[in-house]
């Protein structure tokens, strides 16, 4: 008999309905904010209250439509790595551009007082701050309800146990109940944590519908009878999400741990547009060339300053070249500013540590600010690298990593990048375990590549540089 070891009475199911009011509350807050900020800005600039006519109402509807299309009314989710605040900034920036163009082309800025003196744009700027703060508060409120989240995993095995460990590490507020079939699985699962419980064996699944599951997770090796498949179908039609192990990791944590993947999953999964689409590859290459050229022009003074500092700090060449693995496993030579002392690797290749004694004083600053990576812009122009992609690894390390990590070689289905999804979400790595974790993010990037994901990585890279999280 299935028995959930938590207090999940029927009344507790109601908490799932609470977040459904979040989009409505955010919409009301947006409408209120827009009206108030337009009134305040108009009064401060003109000295009289604004009258809301068709043009003002149209502007408000345009802003709200942009926020809706950017899906900012679901603050707990991401779109291609962009959280709601980032989507608000992008949406309102586009609306500001459209509004300015319409006012200029129509020549109406002199006919309506509120179209002049930047009233609309100033109001939109203040409202952007309001909208971002309201989403951050909404996410904090939704997170407080995550403590009541209840997940069920069907089956266990080696991959299921690994998922349970990741679940408790990544989501310590959540609760995971496991239906396992063997005593060995139960024993292993008992070692993972306090928020993990054994719910019984897998027999009749119809009783599961009475509990407020946030979702069901199916272990990779699980096989079901025809009756159990029908029962799972009924649960799915009742609104309970059902995931395979890789899919839930992709949904919750934006990564694909290779230890949970199987060949069959690769065969039937969607995505991988960057690998299969020639248009995506050509568009990405075009963007790389344009942006690399602009970066080279804008950052050239900074690069000159870095070269002078390196030369004055320690003897040796300003630049440092190293053999790395590129697209399809082909080696290429990557160029960086030298950040280590001369002959730092005379005893062979080594993992770089966080406080590596081989790093010079200037080199440490260059690494923290990621300035040492700037010469790789030339690699991008040459076509060896992309601005965004998996970090290129050294061939000496690749041999060991391929033997230790499943599907490791798939990271070279795309060009390596100066920055990437793994670099901004898991910035430090100096072991096989770290390489495995970074591969999970690389595989997510390869599967879910889009222009929006690249934009998200660019913003996250700027944050990493400004906060000094480089290495």
Half-sphere exposure of 133 (CA within 13 A, CB side): 8
**CA-CA distance, 9 to 358, in Å (whole number)?**
60
Region 21-47 average pLDDT: 83
The predicted structure's pLDDT at residue 386: 96
- Predicted confidence at residue 119, as pLDDT, reads 76
Q: How confident is the model at residue 4 (pLDDT cuts 50, 70, 90)?
A: very low
Average pLDDT over residues 291-295: 95
The predicted structure's pLDDT at residue 447: 92
The predicted pLDDT at position 346 comes to 52
Q: Residue 366's pLDDT is what?
A: 86
Q: What is the reported pLDDT for 295?
A: 94
316-325, 341-350, 438-447 — most confident range: 438-447
What percent of the chain stands above pLDDT 70?
76
CATH number of 149-253: 3.40.50.620
Quick one: pLDDT at residue 290?
95
Residue 249 confidence (pLDDT): 87
Tell me what the mean pLDDT of segment 187-210 comes to. Answer: 66
**pLDDT score, position 212:** 74
Is the pLDDT assigned to residue 467 strictly greater than 80?
no
Q: What is the pLDDT of residue 13?
A: 31
> Are residues 258 and 437 in contact, defined by beta-carbon separation less than 8 angstroms?
no
- Average of pLDDT values for 401-428? 90
> Which residues make up the CATH 3.40.50.620 domain(s) of the chain?
149-253
Contact call for residues 13 and 210 (beta carbons, < 8 A):
no
- Give dist(CA 419, CA 260) in Å, integer: 25
pLDDT at residue 389 in the model: 95
User: Which range is least confidently modeled, 232-241, 414-423, 442-451?
Assistant: 232-241
Q: Nearest CA to 121 among 104, 94, 100, 105?
A: 100
360 confidence band (pLDDT: 50, 70, 90):
confident
Q: Which residue has the higher pLDDT, 453 or 18?
A: 453
Q: Does 382 have pLDDT greater than 90?
A: yes
Average pLDDT over residues 440-465: 87
How far apart (Å, rounded) are the C-alpha atoms in residues 162 and 257? 10
Quick: pLDDT tens for 79-134. 656 778 888 998 899 988 888 887 777 665 555 555 655 677 888 889 999 999 99
Strand 150-154 relative to strand 175-179, pairing = parallel
438 or 77: which leads in pLDDT: 438
pTM for this model (two decimals): 0.70
Query: pLDDT digits over 129-184, tens only?
Result: 999 999 888 877 776 665 557 888 887 778 888 888 888 777 766 778 888 766 66
Distance in angstroms (rounded) separating the CA atoms of residues 354 and 372: 15
Alpha-helical regions (H) of 107-222: 119-145, 157-170, 183-189
377 contacts 418 by C-beta, under 8 angstroms = yes
Rounded mean pLDDT, 313-338: 90
Amino acid 349: pLDDT: 54
How much of the chain exceeds pLDDT 90, in percent? 24
- Mean residue pLDDT of the chain comes to 80
């Amino acid at each position: 008999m299935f028995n959930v070891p938590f207090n999940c009475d029927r009344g507790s199911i109601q908490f799932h309905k609470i977040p459904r009011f979040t989009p409505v509350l955010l919409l009301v807050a947006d409408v209120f904010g827009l009206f108030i900020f337009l009134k305040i800005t108009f009064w401060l600039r003109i000295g009289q209250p604004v009258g809301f006519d068709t043009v003002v109402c149209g502007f408000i509807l345009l802003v709200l439509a942009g926020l809706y299309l950017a899906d900012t009314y679901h603050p707990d989710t991401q779109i291609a790595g962009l959280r709601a605040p980032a989507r608000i900034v992008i949406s309102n920036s586009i609306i500001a551009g459209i509004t300015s163009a319409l006012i200029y082309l129509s020549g109406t800025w002199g006919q309506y007082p509120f179209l002049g003196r930047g009233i609309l744009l100033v109001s939109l700027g203040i409202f952007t701050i309001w909208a971002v703060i309201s989403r951050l508060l909404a996410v904090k409120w939704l997170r407080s309800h995550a403590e009541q989240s209840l997940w069920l995993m069907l089956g266990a095995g080696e991959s299921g146990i690994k998922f349970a460990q990741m679940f408790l590490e990544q989501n310590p507020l959540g609760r995971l109940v496991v239906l396992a079939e063997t005593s060995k699985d139960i024993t292993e699962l008992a070692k993972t944590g306090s928020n993990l419980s054994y719910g019984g064996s897998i027999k009749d699944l119809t009783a599961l519908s009475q509990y407020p599951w946030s979702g069901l997770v199916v272990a990779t090796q699980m096989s079901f009878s025809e009756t159990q498949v029908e029962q799972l179908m009924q649960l799915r039609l009742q609104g309970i999400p059902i995931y395979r192990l890789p899919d839930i990791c992709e949904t919750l944590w934006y990564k694909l741990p290779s230890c949970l993947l199987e060949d069959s999953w690769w065969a039937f999964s969607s995505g991988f547009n960057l690998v299969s689409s020639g248009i995506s590859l050509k568009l990405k290459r075009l963007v790389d060339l344009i942006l690399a050229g602009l970066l080279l022009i804008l950052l050239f003074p900074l690069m000159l300053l870095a070269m002078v500092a390196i030369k004055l700090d320690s003897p040796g060449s300003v630049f440092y070249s190293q053999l790395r693995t590129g697209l399809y496993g082909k080696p290429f030579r990557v160029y960086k500013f030298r950040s280590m002392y001369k002959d730092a690797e005379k005893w062979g290749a080594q993992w770089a540590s966080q406080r590596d004694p081989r790093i010079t004083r200037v080199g440490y600053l260059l690494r923290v600010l990621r300035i040492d990576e700037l010469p790789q812009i030339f690699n991008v122009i040459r076509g060896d690298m992309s601005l965004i992609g998996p970090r290129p690894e050294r061939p000496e390390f690749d041999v060991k990593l391929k033997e230790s990590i499943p599907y490791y070689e798939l990271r070279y289905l795309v060009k390596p990048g100066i920055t990437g999804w793994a670099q901004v979400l898991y910035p430090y790595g100096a072991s096989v375990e770290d390489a495995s974790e970074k591969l999970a993010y690389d595989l997510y990037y390869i599967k879910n590549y889009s222009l929006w994901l690249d934009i998200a990585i660019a913003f996250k890279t700027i944050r990493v540089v400004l906060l000094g999280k480089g290495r």
